[in-house]
Amino acid sequence: MIWLRRLIALPLALTFIILFILMLVIFRINGTLGNPDFYTDQLRQADIYNFIYDDVLPAALEETELGDVPGAVIDISEMKPHILSMVEQTLPPQWLQTQVEQVINRALPYVLGDTEAFTVNIPLKDRVEAAAEAVKDTLHKEDVFPNLYDQAMDRILDEAIPNMGGLPPPLALSEDELESMVRTVLPPEWILTQIEGAIDEVVPYLTKEKEQFTVRVNIIERLDALETVVADILKGPQIYDHLFEDVVAPAIKQNIQEVTQLPIGVALTDEEILWAVKEILPLDWYQTRVTEIVGQVFSYFRGTQDSSEVVIPLTDRKPVVARVLGELVDRKLESLVDSLPVCTEAQLQELLTSPPLNGLPLCRPPDMSYAEFKALLGIDIGTMLTPLVNMWIPDQLAFTEADLRQLSGGQGDEDMLSQAKEWLHRGLTYTDEDLRAHLGADYETLDEVRQWIASGFTFTEEELRHWIRGMDGDADEQWQAFDEVRSQLGTGRRWKMAAWVMPALILVAIGALGGRRWSSRLVWAAAVLALMAIIAYAIFGPLFSALAQPKIDDALTGAVSQAEGFQALLADKGVTMAQNAIDSFVGGLKSQALSLLAVALALIALGSAWHIWAGKRRA
C-alpha cells in the first residue's frame, strides 16, 4: 500500500510546488511594492535627490527660455547657474528626501488599506526664509548684481532719454551724462541694501509672523549725492546761458527802455546794458554761486529751510556794472568828442566862459585832451550811471517755487520739483494695503498661500478624496472603486499569513503519505520543499536572466529611445531604477529560494540522522 500512498503524494507535490512558488511571488510583491521602505531604498540607491540637482535641473534650465523673453525688463538667462544654486539652497536634497519619504511612508499604508487616515505636512516657513537668504547670497556674488544693475540702468536710460524732450534744451542731458547722474545718485551698493531691506520686511509677512509690511525707500539718504550731481550739472555753460537769457535778462529788461539816452548825448541800448551785466556776472562767478543756490533748494527739501525761494544778491555787482558801462560810455563819448569840429576863437571863448551843463558843445577846443575836455564840462560818467544802474538792476534775483518749476520743465502741479519734494518727505513706500489693492480678488489666494507657509502644506485623505472627485464626472464612482480596492487590499494584508496554511497542510500530507515513520515522513516533506526551492531558484535565476531579463531590458530601452534633452536624462534614470527594482525583486526571490533550500537540506539531514538513530535503537 505504500506505493499507492506515494503515488497519491506526487500530484500533491506538484500542487505544492506551484502553489508555494506562487505564494513566494505574492509575498515578494507585498514585501516590495507594498512596503514603503522598498521605494525609499530604491530612491536612495538611485541617488535621485542629488541627481535632480546635479543633472536634471541644469539640463532643464539649459533647454528652457528662462530670461530669454524679448522685451523683458531684465535678462536673467546668464543667471541660470545661480538660479540652480538658489533652488538647491532653498530646497536642499536632504530636505527633498525627507519630504518625499514622509509622503511615501504616510500615504502608501493608506492606499494599501493598512490605515484609515493619513496626514502629510510639508513645512514651508523655514524654506521661505531659506529662499530669502538664498536670494540675498546670490545678489552678493560679484557676477550677479553688477550685471542686473547694469541692465536696469540701460532700461532706465532707454525710457528716460525720450522723456528728456520735455525739459528745456540746456537741461536735456546726454545719455552719458544721465547715466553718470543716475549711477552717482543710485549706486549699486545702495540699491542692493534697499533690496535686502525689502526682502527682510516682506518675508515675515509671508510667514505670518507679521500681518503688515511697509517697504520704504528713504530717498533722502541720497540727497547729498543728488545735490552734488545737480550742482555739477547746473555749472555747465549752457545752463548759465539759459539762466541769463530766460531769467536774468527779462528781470533787467523790465526796468530799462530799448534805448537809454544819456544827457551827454550818448545812448545805451538794452543789448549793451545786458552785455555789461553779463560781463560782470561771468561764468566763473555764476559757478561759485551754483553750490549756494542748489544748497538753498535742497535745504528746503530737507526741511531745514521753510521757504523754497532762492535768492541771488546783486548789490555788490552794481558798482562793477557801472564801471563796465562807464567804460563803454567813455569810449562812445570820446569818439563823439573826436568827431566835433575844432572851435574858433569866438567859440572857444564862449565855451571857456559858459560851458554847457546838459549836453556837448558844438565844437572842441584845440590842443585839449579828452580828459581835460571832460573836466572842463564837469562830466562824471560814474556819477551819471550809478542811479541808472540802481534802477536797472535789482538788489537781488529771487526764484520762487513757480520759477523753479518752470526751470525744471513742469507745468501746474505735475512737475519734477513737486514730485521730488513729495518723495523726499515721505519716501517711496509700498505696503500690504498697496499689495491688496494691486491684487484685488487674487489677494485671497495670497492669504491661502501665507497660511500654507505658516502652518505647512497639509494633505490628508480628505484632500485626496476631493482631488479624485474633482477629476471628472465619474469621480464618485472612481472613489468608491478606489475605496473598495483599498479595503480589499487591507483585508488581504491583515490575513496574509493565513494563506500559508494550505501549503503547510499539503506539505504535511505529502510527508504523511510518503513515509512510514516520522523520520521518513520528515525526509519526504523536506525533499519536496527542496525540490520546490531548486525549481524556484532556477526560474528566478538562470531562466529569468536568460529569457526574461533581455526582453525586459529591450522593452525599457525602446520605451525611452525617443526622449531627448533632460527628458532623456529622466528616462535613462527611470530605466536604471526599473532595472534595479526588478533586480531587487527577483534577487529577493532567489535569496528566499536558497534559504528554503538550505532549510530543506537541513531537514533532510535531520530526518536521515533520525532514521539512522531510530534503526540502531531498534536493533
Domains of the chain: which residue ranges? 2-36+496-618, 224-426
HSE-up of residue 594 (Cα within 13 Å, Cβ side): 8
- The count of other CB atoms within 10 Å of the CB of residue 361 is 19
Q: Average pLDDT for residues 471-479, to the nearest whole number?
A: 65
**What is the secondary structure of 291-303 as a DSSP string?**
HHHHHHHHHHHHT
Do the beta carbons of residue 502 and residue 22 sit within 8 Å?
A: no
H/E segment holding residue 515 = none
pLDDT confidence of residue 481: 82
Do the beta carbons of residue 503 and residue 19 sit within 8 Å?
A: yes
Q: Average pLDDT for residues 339-362, to the nearest whole number?
A: 80
The candidate with the shortest Cα–Cα distance to 325, out of 381, 258, 391, 260, is 381
564 backbone dihedrals φ, ψ, rounded to 5°:
-135, 160
Place of cell 493608506: 110
pLDDT at 105 over 90: yes
pLDDT confidence of residue 20: 92
Q: Which three cell numbers stand for residue 80?
A: 541660470
Residues 210-231: tens digit of each pLDDT? 999 999 888 788 888 888 888 8
> Distance between the two ends of the chain, CA-based, in angstroms?
25
Please state, rounded to an integer, the average pLDDT across all residues of the chain.
83
Task: Give buried/exposed letters for 220-252 (b at 16+ CB in 10 A, else e).
Answer: bebbeebbebbbbbbbbeebbebbbeeebbeeb
pLDDT band at 429 (very low <50, low <70, confident <90, very high): confident
pLDDT at 497 over 50: yes
Do the beta carbons of residue 532 and residue 596 sit within 8 Å?
A: yes
Q: Which residue has the higher pLDDT, 206 or 478?
A: 206
Q: Which of 137-146, 389-398, 407-416 has the lowest mean pLDDT?
A: 407-416
Do the beta carbons of residue 154 and residue 396 sit within 8 Å?
A: no
Contacts of 64 (CB under 8 A, 6+ apart): none
Residues 513-528: tens digit of each pLDDT? 887 788 888 888 889 9
Angle at CA 612, nearest 5°, toward 611 and 613?
Answer: 90
Angle at CA 447, nearest 5°, toward 442 and 449?
Answer: 100
Region class of 280: left (phi > 0), else alpha (psi between -120 and 50), else beta: alpha
Place of cell 510546488: 17
Q: Which three cell numbers stand for residue 142?
A: 560679484
Q: Which residue has the higher pLDDT, 404 or 565?
A: 565
The candidate with the shortest Cα–Cα distance to 48, out of 553, 568, 577, is 577
Most confident of 126-140, 374-388, 453-467, 505-519: 126-140
3-state percent breakdown (helix, strand, coil) of the chain, nearest 5: 75, 5, 20
pLDDT confidence of residue 496: 82
For the chain, what percent of residues have pLDDT higher than 70?
89
pLDDT at 313 over 90: no
The candidate with the shortest Cα–Cα distance to 170, out of 397, 407, 416, is 407
pLDDT confidence of residue 308: 64
Round to whole Å and give the CA distance between 462 and 468.
Answer: 10
Place of cell 478624496: 465
Using a 10 angstrom Cβ sphere, with 0-12 exposed, 13-18 middle and 19 or more buried, the burial of residue 286 is buried
pLDDT at 17 over 70: yes
Residues 111-142: tens digit of each pLDDT? 888 888 999 999 999 999 999 999 999 999 88
Round to whole Å and give the CA distance between 279 and 260.
Answer: 19
Q: Average pLDDT for residues 318-322, to the nearest whole number?
A: 82
pLDDT band at 209 (very low <50, low <70, confident <90, very high): very high
pTM to 2 decimals? 0.72
Do the beta carbons of residue 116 and residue 460 sit within 8 Å?
A: no
Using a 10 angstrom Cβ sphere, with 0-12 exposed, 13-18 middle and 19 or more buried, the burial of residue 473 is exposed
Round to whole Å and give the CA distance between 485 and 495.
Answer: 15
pLDDT band at 413 (very low <50, low <70, confident <90, very high): very low
Q: Average pLDDT for residues 502-519, to the nearest whole number?
A: 85
Q: Calculate the CA 208 to chain-centre distance.
A: 21
Residues 27-85: tens digit of each pLDDT? 999 989 989 999 999 999 999 999 999 888 888 888 776 655 555 556 777 787 888 89
Do the beta carbons of residue 76 and residue 66 sit within 8 Å?
A: yes
pLDDT at 237 over 80: yes
